[in-house]
Amino acid sequence: MVADASGKSSPLISLCAGGTAGGVEAFCTYPFEFAKTRVQLYGHGSSRNPFRIVGQVVKEEGLSALYKGCSTMIVGSIGKDAIRFVAFDSIRKMFEDPETHTLGPAQSIMSGMVAGVVSSTAIVTPTERIKTALIDDAKTLQRFRSPWHCVATLAQEQGLRRALYAGYVTTTLKQIGTTGFRLGSYSIIKDWERSRGYNVDGPLASFANGAAAGTITTLATQPFDTVKTKAQQAKAVGTMDAVRIIMAEDGFFKGFWRGTVMRLGRTVMAGGILFTANEQAAKMLRALLGPQYQ
């Protein structure tokens, strides 16, 4: 993913570039994430237009409300993308062709899936849980004063494990699918273009390939994201309870693909930003750190 011409990549470069890309992407696209989460929590009774949701929140709750929970997501995104880029690059090295430094489609997707499990367990589930609880609380009881206060309150009421790892199964399934499809499809597209002599290292190519990977990812994994959001609201809701609530409210297609427009708007842009920032950060870090970190 963050490789030089020989196909090799330093774990330090992958870690720093992935973390930088995750933070940039999270901040730039958070209003879409906020709108998507609101629709997934309360979508059966409100507008599904992301721009209308954003406008309503600004009018009723103020501009700052759009970034409720953003700091948690930025921290989570820095850690998540740092970990999954390192994991993906490390796993990719084990399976890639030693001469061409490319992977087959199945190997690319499998490498991404394993990276998804690692990132979900290490950082994604806790930060997603806190972010979702903060967004839910801002709409309802408004009792959480900060991310730390949110964690302390939920831990006291529900226990630390549930406070941080509610929705772990669906979050991990989502990360397996998301990371597998996103990193896997990006790698497949990039390897295919490189094999045909196209320049894949420029910002425009990185953005276009990342946006395409984001579209594929969103459509394939939306049900997991919807159930995950419902299971991570402020009050304790089990995974199967979340499934039943969604089915009762909106039915199968309308319910499980709730928030697709918002998430698609975010992930298409996020995919472009993420991979472009990652590639450019890697280039700058390699130039700054010298050949020993190539």
Residue 209 is assigned to a structural domain of this protein: yes
Query: Per the structure, how many domains does the chain have?
Result: 1
Residue 293 is assigned to a structural domain of this protein: no
Residue 241 is assigned to a structural domain of this protein: yes
- C-alpha dihedral (28, 137, 40, 169), degrees to nearest 10: 90
Residue 55 has pLDDT above 50, yes or no: yes
Candidates 189, 172, 82; CA nearest to 129 is 172
What is the token pair recorded at 50?
A: 């992301």
Instruction: Spell out a b/e string for 250-282, using b for 16 or more CB atoms within 10 Å of the CB, else e.
Output: beeeebbbbbbbbbbbbbbbbbbbbbbbbbbbb
Read off the pLDDT band of 149 (50, 70, 90): very high
Phi–psi pair at 6, nearest 5 degrees = -85, -5
| pLDDT of res. 48 | 62
Residue 25 is assigned to a structural domain of this protein: yes
CATH code at position 60: 1.50.40.10
**CA distance readout (Å), 239 to 27, 230, 236, 294:** 28, 8, 10, 44
d(CA 205, CA 209): 6
| pLDDT of res. 152 | 94
Residue 105 is assigned to a structural domain of this protein: yes
Residue 4 is assigned to a structural domain of this protein: no
| pLDDT of res. 278 | 86
Taking the model in full, what pTM does it have? 0.60
Average pLDDT over residues 203-214: 87
Residue 97 has pLDDT above 80, yes or no: no
| pLDDT of res. 19 | 87
Longest dimension (CA), the chain: 59
- Owning domain of residue 117: 11-285
Residue 6 is assigned to a structural domain of this protein: no
**CA distance readout (Å), 228 to 27, 61, 171:** 21, 25, 6
Is residue 100 classed as helix, strand or coil in its secondary structure?
A: coil
Residue 294 is assigned to a structural domain of this protein: no
**Most confident range, picked from 12-21, 39-48, 283-292:** 12-21
d(CA 157, CA 151): 10
Phi–psi pair at 10, nearest 5 degrees = -75, 135
Q: Where are the alpha helices (DSSP H) in the chain?
A: 11-42, 50-61, 70-95, 105-119, 125-139, 147-158, 160-165, 168-195, 203-231, 239-250, 252-256, 260-289
